């Protein structure tokens, strides 16, 4: 029986904790598409709920592939990991932080249109 998550992140744009404000606006930026639920009983508990998201910048060769650019591939990450915290510079911070600044969101949408 599949496990329905109690918390689900909102769709929208997020920065990964490695984002650097001094670099491009799309540095470590992603668009969260939604959350997928594994419907089979034989999957590991930590893989039963996965976040589906799209990179808004290129840092891996796979992101340059035609299939990825055509929207046939997405990034997946276990929901608990996506919503979890990490340790950085001696501080505990969210792994992903929702972007709420409308100006930045507009820039990311424009970059996304050029990518995909």
pLDDT per residue over 49-65, tens digit each? 889 998 888 766 666 66
- Please give the residue range of the domain that contains residue 91: 12-115
Residue 94 lies in a domain: yes
Residue 7 lies in a domain: no
Residue 67 lies in a domain: yes
Q: What is the pLDDT of residue 116?
A: 77
Residue 58 belongs to domain with CATH number: 2.30.30.320
Residue 92 lies in a domain: yes
Residue 95 lies in a domain: yes
Q: Which of 38, 68, 48 is nearest to 56 (CA)?
A: 68
Full-model pTM = 0.85
Number of folded domains that form the chain: 1
Residue 4 lies in a domain: no
């Amino acid at each position: 029986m599949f496990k329905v998550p109690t918390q689900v992140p909102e769709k929208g744009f997020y920065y990964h904790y490695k984002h650097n404000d001094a670099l491009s606006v799309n540095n470590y930026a992603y668009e969260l598409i939604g959350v997928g639920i594994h419907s089979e009983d034989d999957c590991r508990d930590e893989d039963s709920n996965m976040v589906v998201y799209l990179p808004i910048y290129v840092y891996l060769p796979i992101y340059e592939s035609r299939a990825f650019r055509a929207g046939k591939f997405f990034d997946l990450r276990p929901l608990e990991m996506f919503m979890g915290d990490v340790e950085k510079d001696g501080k505990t911070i969210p792994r992903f932080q929702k972007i709420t600044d409308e100006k930045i969101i507009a820039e990311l949408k424009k970059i996304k249109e050029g990518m995909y």
